[in-house]
Copies of this chain bind each other. A is one copy, B any other.
């Protein structure tokens, strides 16, 4: 019974890692669509979201089946519920990539991000993508140290967001209200992707150690 439980649990964690790879692709493509003003790539991100939603449904079903058939208690129960929470967060990260892609699509044939804001937004996209990639590795390897390191990238994301606000609220901002609003919302979407990445990583720490790395870390659901 217990061996079957752990096999099924491993299979759920493999699915989580696979969804994480799909989210990583969505984040990368959404940033590309945004910086290149490429409607085709934006459409790919939007279309790919159905696949992430379906994969999430499969993980939900597998976790329910595991709970029903194996009736785990204590730590094992918390691990399965953590998996359910991780998959909702990964799905949400996919949705946020779609929001980025939709801003890209809305401005085609123009590019939503003006030249001056490009380095910051490009870096936000890189940091987000890198965080998602590393969360995938954390899930596969159950690497607690790597999970804790993600907090540092989240700090960079916060700095980038503050920097972009300083830029678009400065007196020399000459791209108007529309570009400013786009950038403020993009900053918010990337920040949320990063928040969820940290939260998923913290859940892995919880799965491995039975404790969250920091107070309140689990609340970013």
Interface residues of A (CB under 8 A from B): 53, 56, 64, 67-68, 71, 73-74, 77-78, 81, 84-85, 88-89, 91-92, 95, 165, 168-169, 173, 176-178, 180-181, 184-185, 188, 216, 219, 221
Give A165's nearest chain B residue, CB to CB.
Answer: B181
A-B contacts, 15 listed (Cβ < 8 Å)? A53-B216, A53-B219, A64-B78, A64-B81, A67-B67, A67-B81, A92-B221, A168-B177, A168-B181, A169-B177, A169-B181, A176-B177, A181-B181, A185-B188, A221-B221
The interface residues of chain B lying within 8 Å CB-to-CB of A168 are: 177, 181
The interface residues of chain B lying within 8 Å CB-to-CB of A56 are: 219
The interface residues of chain B lying within 8 Å CB-to-CB of A89 are: 221
Report Cα–Cα, A169/B74, bound state, in Å: 54
Would you call the interface of chain A mostly helix, strand, loop, or mixed?
helix
Report Cα–Cα, A71/B219, bound state, in Å: 25
Residue from the list B53, B77, B181, B221 in contact with A184, Cβ < 8 A: B181
In the complex the two chains form, is A91's CB within 8 Å of B221's CB? yes
The interface residues of chain B lying within 8 Å CB-to-CB of A53 are: 216, 219
Minimum CB–CB distance from A185 to chain B (whole Å) comes to 6
Report Cα–Cα, A168/B180, bound state, in Å: 11
In the complex the two chains form, is A77's CB within 8 Å of B88's CB? no
Q: A85-B88, A169-B177, A221-B88 are in contact. Are A68 and B73 (CB under 8 A)?
A: yes
In the complex the two chains form, is B77's CB within 8 Å of A64's CB? yes
* Sample of 11 further A-B pairs with CB below 8 A, known A53-B219, A168-B177, A169-B178: A53-B216, A67-B67, A67-B73, A67-B77, A68-B77, A71-B71, A91-B219, A165-B181, A180-B180, A181-B184, A184-B185
Report Cα–Cα, A85/B81, bound state, in Å: 10
Report Cα–Cα, A64/B82, bound state, in Å: 12
Minimum CB–CB distance from A215 to chain B (whole Å) comes to 10
The interface residues of chain B lying within 8 Å CB-to-CB of A184 are: 181, 184-185
The interface residues of chain B lying within 8 Å CB-to-CB of A85 are: 88
Report Cα–Cα, A108/B155, bound state, in Å: 27
